[in-house]
Amino acid sequence: MAAMNVVRMRVKAGREPAFLKFHEDRAIEPLKGMRSLRLVKTGEREYLVLGDWENMDALVAARPAMIAMLDSFRDDLDDLGGGLGVTDPRSGEVVLNRTA
């Protein structure tokens, strides 16, 4: 069954160009089982990173690599508050997928 991960983050002022460039340039091929990556701007300096995966096992196996990528730009992110740190991640199996 397909899976997705969604990570909310807020970029520090003045760091958006580097943040966007990182996501444009990063290869997703090393993340085995990742089918697509989307970056959605949801507010002032706030973004969602959405990953579409073949299945939950592939997503789980890729977590160490995803954390390593995050570590490479962690200093560019603001703390989200409420004890979250710099990211608010979620992941799970896709239970409904509709397309036009």
Ordered mean pLDDT values, 10 residues apiece, the chain (100 residues): 97 96 91 96 98 98 94 95 96 95
Q: Is residue 25 exposed (0-12), middle (13-18) or buried (19+ Cβ within 10 Å)?
A: exposed
Residue ranges of domains in the chain, CATH in brackets: 3-91 (3.30.70.100)
CA distance 62 to 92: 14
CA distance 58 to 38: 17
- Tell me what pLDDT residue 53 has: 98
